[in-house]
Chains A and B, each alone.
With several copies, the nearest count.
Chain A
Amino acid sequence: MTTNPPDAANANDGDWGAIHDRRASEALILDIDGFEGPLDLLLTLGRTQKVDLKRISIQQLAEQYLGFVEQARKLRIELAADYLVMAAWLAFLKSRLLLPPDPADEGPSGEELAAHLAFQLERLAAMREAAAKIMARDRIGQDRFVRGIPEDLTTAKRITYSASLIELMQAYARIRTRDDFRPYVMDREDVFTLEEALEGMRGLIGYAGDWTTLESYIPEGWRGTPQRRRAATAATFAAALELVKSGRAELRQSETFAPITLRRRDDRT
């Protein structure tokens, strides 16, 4: 008893063309790494239709592609995700092309989608051809040559600086007479800023449950010269007002020019 292996039986059933086609598609599958993505594969499949790309049957192409994916699956070849995306889309396109258009459907019709795919294939094929034409041109270093002993066409950039004697003297005078312009100088050494005062008081106010004089918040080192004391007093007073405003302290003065005192404001009362 002789039994043909199933493959051979199938081969006998089909005609030569079918075998040829199958072999070709298997060859494609084995060459899957050689493809630059699904569009490239479609283009290759499309070429088997042996027609002008403009008149390619997208429906037939979709079937070829789906057949290819099917084959790959049978041969347990992992296809990259984008090949599967293309397969799903082509299946959708095929159904769109087969069914009568649904007037409620938004977006392009199946024909429009098919025409666009044909355009994409044609464009890709055109770019391939153009690339080949470019690469076949007379190229530098192969057909055309540049000067073998180029000379340096140098451009030395020299920067010179200009300055006049007057500028020089004015600059010197400016440096040497800086002190003459003291009124214009912001001397920060004797400035106690509101920020500094606030920072200091925020740290201390928590402890001031009882009325404490504002003066006691003036930091050490700012009570000496009148100038410094004045600056620090003003800043501390302003900072105290800020704390009152934000509800963190209370301020009290018994009479005009009497010492100003403040204490923490207890939220819970």
Chain B
Amino acid sequence: MTDQSDDPSLFRAPPLAEQERMVEAMLFASAEPLTTREMEARMPHGSDAAEAMVLLRKRYEGRGVQVVRVGEAWAIRTAADLGFLMSREQVETRRLSRAAVETLAIIAYHQPVTRAEIEEIRGVSVSRGTIDQLIEQGWVRFGRRKMTPGRPVTFVVTEEFLDHFGLETTRDLPGLKELREAGLLENRPLEGAVRVVGEDDEDGEAPPPEDQEDMFED
């Protein structure tokens, strides 16, 4: 071991072109997105996966497969315009119920969001099964508990969700900016408003009346 430590090559990172080959090989090999950190852990000491990714990304521009960003990670996916060639590979995804699709969208746009908030938006109670289905699908996971009374659990979308729908981050959700500007992503409960669900919500409590004005002033 000691006799090798004198070898300077061990302490010099491989050339960037070589590093690019490495991230290319790893991303091709993996079905799941990989973070630069995960890749670096496999690369020779001193490698910079992020820099290699810049090169790789450029190299695959316009090609039949593309280097895409998925949250904090990277993946190679076929170009969407060539989907027609892949009929054999097509996976029959289980059709989601209308309730599940809506719940998924609400979680994506409002995350982190509690179950009571989802119910408030949809105006119906969310069956346990709906969220379970989304979790099972790998698109939704538990987020941090909310720091409100009862410390309710929240739901957020996963990296797999981003990957599946071809989103780099949740900021890329379609129409996000417009919805935010229109104030439609706000949670503004109103005292006296109709509540058709949520008798057992702990976090669904409307704020006391004196807070109300504030709630509308943002």
Contacts and interface: CB of A to CB of B under 8 A. Distances in A.
Interface in A117-137: 117, 119-120, 122-124, 126-131, 133-135, 137
Sorting the interface of chain B by its residue count into under 10, 10 to 19, 20 to 34 or 35 or more gives 35 or more
Contacts of A142: 83, 90-91, 93
10 contacts: A39-B122, A108-B191, A123-B121, A129-B175, A130-B105, A134-B104, A148-B28, A162-B94, A172-B109, A185-B194
B185 A173 contact: yes
Contacts of A165: 165-167
Contacts of A169: 105, 173-174, 179, 184
A145 B86 contact: yes
Contact of B190 (A36, A89, A116, A144): A116
B199 to A, nearest CB: 8
A255 interface: no
Most buried by B among A107, A122, A124, A165: A165
Interface in B30-64: 30-32, 34, 42
Contacts of A15: none
B192 A107 contact: yes
A149 interface: yes
Contact of A172 (B31, B99, B105, B166): B105
B215 to A, nearest CB: 7
Contacts of A138: 80, 83, 166
B94 A159 contact: yes
Contacts, number: 303
Interface in B72-93: 75-80, 83, 85-93
A190 to B, nearest CB: 10
Interface of B: 25-26, 28-32, 34, 42, 75-80, 83, 85-96, 98-102, 104-106, 108-109, 121-124, 133, 137, 163-167, 173-176, 179-180, 182-186, 188-198, 206, 209, 212, 215-216
Contact of B209 (A161, A179, A187): A179
Of residues A40, A122, A135, A143, which shows the largest number of chain B Cβ atoms within 10 Å of its Cβ? A143
Query: 9 tightest CB-CB pairs across the interface, nearest first?
Result: A39-B123, A37-B124, A131-B105, A141-B91, A145-B29, A138-B80, A143-B83, A172-B105, A150-B31
B176 to A, nearest CB: 6
A133 B93 contact: no
A99 interface: no
Contacts of A184: 188-189, 194
Contacts of B164: 139-141
